[in-house]
Structure 1
Amino acid sequence: MPLKLYKRGKVWWISGTVHGQAVRESTRTHDKEVAEAIRVKKEAGLVSDHVFGPKATRTFAQAVESYLKAGGDARFIGGLDDGLLCHFYDTPLKDIQQNDLDDAARKLYPTAQPETRNRQCYTPFVAVWNHAVKNGWADVRQWSRPKKPKGTNVVRITKRRAGTFPVEYEHAARFIAAMSPGPAMLMTTLFYTGMRPIELFALEAGEVNVTGRWISLYKTKTGEPRGIPMHEFLVPIFTSLLKRPGLDKEPRLFRTPRGEPYEQIATDEEGRGGGGLKSAINGARRRSGIKDIAPYTGRHSCSTGLVVAGVHPHIKDQILGHAADDMSRHYTHVPQAPLIEAINKLPVPDAWHALPWLEDPLAWSGRLAEGTGRRTDLEKRREA
C-alpha cells in the first residue's frame, strides 16, 4: 500500500505501509506540493531500505537529523552552509572513509592544532556515526584521531586554558569560597563526582539516592546511562536540596540564585557554553584572583585525584563514565561499594568544610556572594 496524504487541521500528514513498514507522521507543512514532495521522498527511502538495506542508503545528513532528534549535541555539527553537515551532507555513510574524515578536518580547520581538530571535527563526527551504528545504519568502526607531534625537537609554548587541566583541591576550595552559594554547590558537586557540567544541569531529584550514596544518571553527553558514587561530603548538600518545594513539577535539583534551573547548554573544557555558570565563574575569578578554574576543572581534578589516591584505573573510568560496557549499564541504579569507597578518597580541605552555606544549603541557595550587585549576604553573615 503506497503512502498517502491526508489533512489533519491545516497540516498534511503521511500514512500507509510500504514493504511492511507502517508510517503515520506529520509533514509539518500546510503546502500540499511540499507535502507531496516529502511523501515521495519518504516512500522512495522505504523502498530503497527494503531493496538495499539502510546501511546502503542512509546519508550523513539523515544520521545528523536523527542524532539531534535524540538529544545529541548540535555544537560543531554546523549547518547547510558550513561545518560537518555541509561537508558530508548527501554522502552515504557507507562511502565515508578515514581519509574523508581527515580531509574534512583539514578543510574545515586548516590552521587549527590537532587537539582543536579532534574536539571540533572528529568528536562530533564520531558521535553522529555511533548514533547511526545504534540505528543499524552503519558498521562499528574505529576512527583514528589526530595526535600531537612527538619528539624533542617539537616545542609549543602556549598558555593553558582553564578547564583543560586539574588543580589541587586546596586551590579549588579558595575559588569556591568566592562564589555565591548556589553555583558553589554545583561546582562542589562537579569536583566530588567527576560529572560533566551538562549532566549536572539536568540532574533530577529522582536520580539521587542519598541513603545508598548513589546517583543514577540517565541523561548523559554520550547518551549512555551510568551510575555515579556520592562522596560523603556531598550528602548534606543533596539532603538539603531534595527538600526544595515543587520538585514534583520541576525535578532539576541545582538552581541559580534566582531559583531557576540551569540552562542545559553543553560546556566544553574551556568553559564556553556554561549554561548559566559563566557569570558565576567570572565573578569568582574577579573576587578571588584565581583564573585557572572553569566548569570542566572539577572533572579533570576528580580524575587526577582518584589516580593520586591509588584508585584502580577500571574503577576510575567507571566513575567518570569512560567504561560503559553493556553489563555495567544493567546496574546503573545499583549502589556499588567499591566505587563509593573510591570516591571517598578524594580530599576535602578545611577551607571547603568551613563554607557557611553547608549548615543549610537550601536556605543559602538564593543568596549572593559579596560584591555581586548590591547584595552582600556572605559579608553580612561573616560580620554576624
Structure 2
Amino acid sequence: MARKQDGLYQRGEIWWVRFNHHGREIRRSTGTTDRTAAEEYRDQLKASLWRQEKLGERPEYRWEEAVERWLIDRLDRPTAYNWKLTLRWLHPHLCGVRLADITRERIEAIKRAKQKEGVKPRTVNDVLNVIRSILRAAHEWEWIDRAPVVKTLQEPTRRVRYLTDAEEVRLLREVPEHMAPIVRFALCTGLRMSNILGLEWSQIDMTRRVAWVHPDQAKESKAIPVPLNSDAAQILREQMGQHLSHVFTYQGEPMRRVNGRAWRNALQRAGIENFTFHCLRHTWASRHIQSGTSLHALMEMGGWSDVDMVRKYAHFGAEHLVEHAERIARSAQKSAHKEKATG
C-alpha cells in the first residue's frame, strides 16, 4: 500500500511526489527508492515551479512526460504494441530523468545494458530509435534546446528467408486452426501482421476484389492498395459471418498478435528454422518476383516508399538474364569448334 507523508508516497519501492500547485495537482515519480533523494527531488521540483511562475523559466520536462505526449499521437499506429514493450524496458533507466540530462553518455550506457542481454543489434537499435524519436519530438516541442546524437549499431546484411512449397505445407498443417487462414492470407497479400489482424470488412470490396490499408494503419503512413487474387478472395469468403467488424478473430474477439508460443511451437513441429511471421511477407515478395512481377509493381502492392527497398528480392527473378549469360557459353563453344576445325 502507498505510504504518504510530506508530499511523498511510495508505490512499491519507488517514491512519488504529489502536491497541489495553484489548484493543479502535481504527481510524478522520483525514480528512486531512496527517501532522501526523493525529498531533494520534491524540493527541486517545487523550486523549479516557482522559477517558472515568477521568472518565466522554461519548465524542466522529464522523460515520462515526453513519453506520454509522444505515445498519445501514435497509439493507433501498427507498431504501437512494440513501442510499449520498448518503453516498458526503458522505464527503470529513464523514469524521473530530466530530458536535459539525457546525454549521449547516458544513452550509450543504456545501449550497453541492452547489449548485455545478448540480443541482436537490430533489437538494440529498436530501443535507440525510440529514444531518438522521443528526444527529437521534445526538441520540436521546444522542451529541450537540442536532441543528442544517437548512434545505432551496424546491422549485418540478412539473407531473405522464405518458405519453400514443402515448408508451407508443413506449417499450415501444424499451426492452430484459427491461425491457418491468417498465414494463407499473408502469403496471398504480403500484408504485415498488424494490417491483417486489424483488417475490417469495411476495408474490403469483394465485387472489385480489392482491399486497402488506411494511411494511419500503414508503416509508411500512406494508403496501401491490396489486390485480392482468387486464393485471397476464397479465404475472405470463408471468414464471412464470423465477426461483425473484423475479418480475422479468435473466440469471437479481434487478435493483436499471432507470433507467440503457439506460432513458435508450430514452427518447431514443422521443422522450420530461422523463420518469423514477417518472413511470410518475404515469401510473398519472392514468389512475385519469381513469377515475373516487376519491382515497381511489387513496391506499390507492398506499400514500400522506395524501389531500393524491394531490390533485395531482385535476385529471385534473374531468368531474363540467362540469355545474356548464355552468350559466353555459345562463344566458348564456337571457339572450341573453330580450334577443332583448324587442328
- Do both share a fold (TM > 0.5)? yes
Question: Counterparts of 2:241 and 2:94 in 1: how far apart (Å)?
Answer: 47
Query: What SS does the aligned partner of 1:36 have?
Result: strand
Q: Is the 8 A contact 2:172 2:183 kept in 1?
A: no
Instruction: Choose which of 255, 258, 261 in structure 1 pairs with 2:254.
Output: 261
Using the size of structure 1 for normalisation, the TM-score is 0.52
Give distance in 1, aligned partners of 2:60 and 2:217: 29
- State yes or no: 1:311 paired with 2:308: no
Shift of 1:254: 0.3
Q: Unmatched 5+ residue regions in structure 1?
A: 1-32, 151-159, 325-344, 347-384
Match of 1:13 in 2: none
Could you tell me which amino acid in structure 1 is paired with residue 227 of structure 2? M
- Alignment correspondent of 1:205: 201
Q: State, as a whole percentage, how many aligned pairs show the same letter.
A: 14
Partner of 1:227: 224
Specify the alignment match of 1:109 in structure 2: 115
- The 8 Å contact of residues 195 and 213 in structure 2, kept in 1 or not, is answered as no
Rg (Cα) greater in structure? 2
Q: Which aligned pairs between 1:6-21 and structure 2 lie closer than 5 A?
A: none
**1:188-203 alignment to 2 at 5 Å?**
188-203=184-199
Which whole-Å deviations, capped at 9, do the CAs of 1:174-214 have from their partners, x for residues lacking one?
A: 13430454311101222233333233222222122332523
> 8 Å contact 2:218–2:224 — kept in the other structure?
no
Counterpart of 1:15 in structure 2 is: none
Partner of 2:211: 214
d(CA) in 2 for partners of 1:77 and 1:220? 21
Residue 211 of structure 2 contacts residue 226 of structure 2 at CA under 8 Å; is this kept in 1? yes
Q: Deviations over 1:312-331 (max 9, x none)?
A: 36x5455444429xxxxxxx
| Contact persistence 1:172–1:293 (CA under 8 A) | no
For residues 321-355 of structure 1, the C-alpha deviation after alignment (integer angstroms, 9 at most, x for no partner) is 4429xxxxxxxxxxxxxxxxxxxx99xxxxxxxxx
More helix by percentage: 2
Distance change (3 Å), C-alpha of 1:101 and 1:304:
farther
Match of residue 167, structure 1, among 156, 162, 166: 162
CA RMSD of aligned residues (A): 4.5
Q: Which structure ranks higher in relative contact order (CA pairs < 8 Å, sequence separation ≥ 6)?
A: 1
Q: Distance in 2 between matches of 1:51 and 1:306?
A: 61
Is the Cα–Cα contact under 8 Å of residues 125 and 152 in structure 2 kept in the other structure? no
The answer to whether the Cα contact below 8 Å between 1:317 and 1:323 also exists between their aligned partners in 2 is: yes
Q: Is the 8 A contact 1:64 1:85 kept in 2?
A: no
* TM-score under structure 2 length normalisation: 0.57
1:141-160 → structure 2 map (5 Å cutoff): 143-148=150-155
Seen in structure 2, the aligned counterparts of structure 1 residues 259 and 107 have a Cα distance that, compared at 3 Å, is closer
Unaligned runs of 5+ in 2: 1-16, 28-45, 307-315, 318-343
Equivalent of 1:125 in 124, 128, 131: 131
Deviations 1:9-65 (A, max 9, x none): xxxxxxxxxxxxxxxxxxxxxxxx9472692549959x68x9567xx7543221222
Contact in 2 for aligned 1:214/1:229 (Cα 8 Å)? yes
Task: Show the counterpart of 1:19.
Answer: none
Shift of 1:244: 1.4
For residue 301 of structure 1, what is the aligned residue in structure 2?
A: 283
Letter of the structure 2 residue corresponding to residue 279 of structure 1? A
Contact 1:117/1:146, CA 8 A, preserved across alignment: no
In the alignment, the residues of structure 2 paired with residue 128 and residue 185 of structure 1 have an alpha-carbon distance, to the nearest angstrom, of: 37
Relative to 1, partners in 2 of residues 1:236 and 1:183: Cα closer, same or farther, differing over 3 Å? same
Q: Residues 1-384 of structure 1 correspond to what in structure 2 (within 5 A)?
A: 34=18, 36=20, 39=24, 41=26, 44=49, 57-69=60-72, 70-71=74-75, 72=80, 73-78=83-88, 83-93=89-99, 96=102, 98=104, 100-110=106-116, 112=118, 115-126=121-132, 128-129=134-135, 143-148=150-155, 165-178=160-173, 179-210=175-206, 211=208, 213-217=210-214, 220=217, 222=219, 224=221, 226-232=223-229, 233-241=231-239, 243-244=240-241, 246-247=243-244, 251-256=245-250, 258-262=251-255, 264-265=256-257, 271=259, 274=260, 278-279=261-262, 282-283=265-266, 285-286=268-269, 288-306=270-288, 309=292, 311-312=294-295, 316-317=298-299, 319-323=301-305
The CA deviation at 1:170 is 1.2
Cα contact 1:194–1:302 (8 A) shared by 2 = yes
Cα distance, 1:131 vs. partner?
6.0
